[in-house]
Structure 1
Amino acid sequence: KEKNKNEKKEPIPKRKIVKLPKQSAFNPNQKAIALTFDDGPNPSTTSKILNALKENKGHATFFVLGSRVQYYPDMLNKIRKGGNEIGNHSYSHPLLTRLPLKQAVKQVEETQQIIEKASGFTPTHFRPPYGGTNGQINAAVNMKVTLWDVDPEDWKYRNSQYVANYILTHASSGETVLMHDIYDTSANAAVTIIKELTKQGYQLLTVSELEQWKELRAKKGELNT
């Protein structure tokens, strides 16, 4: 208790308060992109991406598989620590539309529980494996479905330079980029992209932040008309 009293006399709490908005503040007037990473976590490659995000003060969203979180539960706190978002990508990556509804929903709900248990965080966004879903599944899981705008097919082209070039030439402001954080080539490409997009003046936002960014821009547009 005494320690707290001392702390109040020091300017430390003030600094703490300043730090928080910095992490989640973004500028609606500045261009923005959401980088997303599927199928992890994987300690070596996911960590490499997290370090690059931290160095460039960027955020991303990691759509994790329940089966992998069970192997690497500690990775989720590392992801969250950097102000990044965790999304749900099912338990074992099946094409959900080929499963009975009950099983498809179980894939998502079990993963929610695993993520919550490992990190205390409850994902709000769900990315169906292969982008395959339907109205029934969406209604049953009751989460925001997040697809993507730019897909370099990094699982197919295991070539860092190709993947980085593809994204840098195809991505533009307001878009969501799909990558996989389980390949070395993708992690290396991500490091390049994170540096380069930041240099180009992009804010690297989580999926949730990009939604807020779009809302703020829409409101500004209404004010200007």
Structure 2
Amino acid sequence: MFKKRTVLALVIALSAVSSPLQAKASPYPAAQMKDRSYYEERGDIVWEVPTEEKYMALTFDDGPDPQQTLKIMEVLKQYEAKATFFLVGDRVERYPEVVRQELQEGHEIANHSFRHPSFQGLPGNVMEDELIKTQDAIYKATGQKPVLFRPPGGYYNEKIIHLSKEHHLQMVLWSWHQDTNDWRSPGVSRIANKVLNNARNGDIILMHDFVHNSNQTTEALKIILPELKKRGYSFVTISELLSHKVAPKNHIKVSH
């Protein structure tokens, strides 16, 4: 009996020591336990937009780039497509003229952090600095501040959701069935087929306008855009897509 009590006391003591360390290692554990519907229903995060009309939103991360972004915009212009560009702040500072051209051609610009770090494990003040510096860089380049934010890699937790709201930014991710993985340069046909084979109303398509030594995204767009236009789709900015959101239907019980 003495031995059992001693072992039990040791276990309790070790638990008391280890618990604070576990809490410190995972400061937002609750965020990992809540599913997508929790954040979607609250409007905290947008993955796609339910709409009855044939609208889609093309999004491009990691730019601007003075070569790839301009080539992508040429294709978009050819097919009368508007897009949303999630910009990296330090690249905005290097290529402000590209950002201004995006706006002039009717595209939407959005925040994608300043140096594109992984937000996983970042302290809150560093996350906030990434948001603020990008907002400031875009404002300096264009006189406008974005209203949308996409975290690098799509990583989120309770802290970054809170910071986004605090800075009046709507967090936007992408349709899970429309991640083209174009940043891996998987081949033009793979990128195009990913979009074409999964096309649905309200899709938010994830692409990139800065991929090292690759023009596959541009070439894939030359296949995607004419084909989806034939199917009746229009390509709009995220903000416009949100304006076409269909409210959930309330099931009203009628008594007789």
Report TM bin, short chain: 0.7 to 0.9
Residues 57 and 235 in structure 2, CA contact (< 8 A), matched pair in contact too: yes
The 5 A counterparts of 1:102-121 are: 102-121=125-144
The 5 A counterparts of 1:65-214 are: 65-142=88-165, 143-149=169-175, 150-183=178-211, 184-214=215-245
Residues 52 and 201 in structure 2, CA contact (< 8 A), matched pair in contact too: no
Residues 147 and 170 in structure 2, CA contact (< 8 A), matched pair in contact too: yes
> How far has the Cα of 1:108 moved from its partner?
1.0
The one-letter code of the counterpart of 1:159 is G
Distance in structure 2 (CA, Å) of the matches to 1:191 and 1:86: 22
Instruction: Note closer, same or farther for the CA distance 1:99–1:60 as it changes in structure 2 (3 Å cut).
Output: same
User: 2:87 — aligned with what?
Assistant: 64
> How far has the Cα of 1:141 moved from its partner?
2.9
> How far has the Cα of 1:29 moved from its partner?
6.0
Distance in structure 2 (CA, Å) of the matches to 1:104 and 1:133: 11
- Secondary structure of the residue aligned to 1:96 is coil
> How far has the Cα of 1:208 moved from its partner?
0.6
Q: Normalized against structure 2, the TM-score is what?
A: 0.71
Which of 15, 21, 40 is the matching residue for 2:63? Answer: 40
Aligned residues: 192
Which stretch has the larger CA shift, 145-154 or 28-37? 28-37
> How far has the Cα of 1:122 moved from its partner?
1.1
Distance in structure 2 (CA, Å) of the matches to 1:120 and 1:171: 35
Query: CA-to-partner distance for each residue in 1:66-106, whole Å, 9 max, x for gaps?
Result: 01111111011111111110010001111113211000110
- Secondary structure of the residue aligned to 1:106 is helix
- Secondary structure of the residue aligned to 2:67 is helix
Residues 164 and 171 in structure 2, CA contact (< 8 A), matched pair in contact too: no
Residues 53 and 59 in structure 1, CA contact (< 8 A), matched pair in contact too: yes
> How far has the Cα of 1:39 moved from its partner?
0.2
Which stretch has the larger CA shift, 110-119 or 52-61? 52-61
Q: List alignment gaps of at least 5 residues for structure 2.
A: 1-50, 251-256
Distance in structure 1 (CA, Å) of the matches to 2:152 and 2:231: 31
Distance in structure 2 (CA, Å) of the matches to 1:187 and 1:69: 21
- Secondary structure of the residue aligned to 2:59 is strand
- Secondary structure of the residue aligned to 1:177 is strand
- Secondary structure of the residue aligned to 1:145 is strand
Query: CA-to-partner distance for each residue in 1:120-166, whole Å, 9 max, x for gaps?
Result: 12110000001112122221232100000010111124411210111
Q: List alignment gaps of at least 5 residues for structure 1.
A: 1-27
The one-letter code of the counterpart of 2:170 is K
- Looking at CA atoms only, which structure, 1 or 2, has the larger radius of gyration? 2
Distance in structure 2 (CA, Å) of the matches to 1:121 and 1:188: 31
Instruction: Note closer, same or farther for the CA distance 1:191–1:78 as it changes in structure 2 (3 Å cut).
Output: farther
- Specify which structure has the higher proportion of helix: 1
Distance in structure 2 (CA, Å) of the matches to 1:86 and 1:161: 27
Residues 127 and 160 in structure 2, CA contact (< 8 A), matched pair in contact too: yes
> How far has the Cα of 1:115 moved from its partner?
0.5
User: 2:9 — aligned with what?
Assistant: none
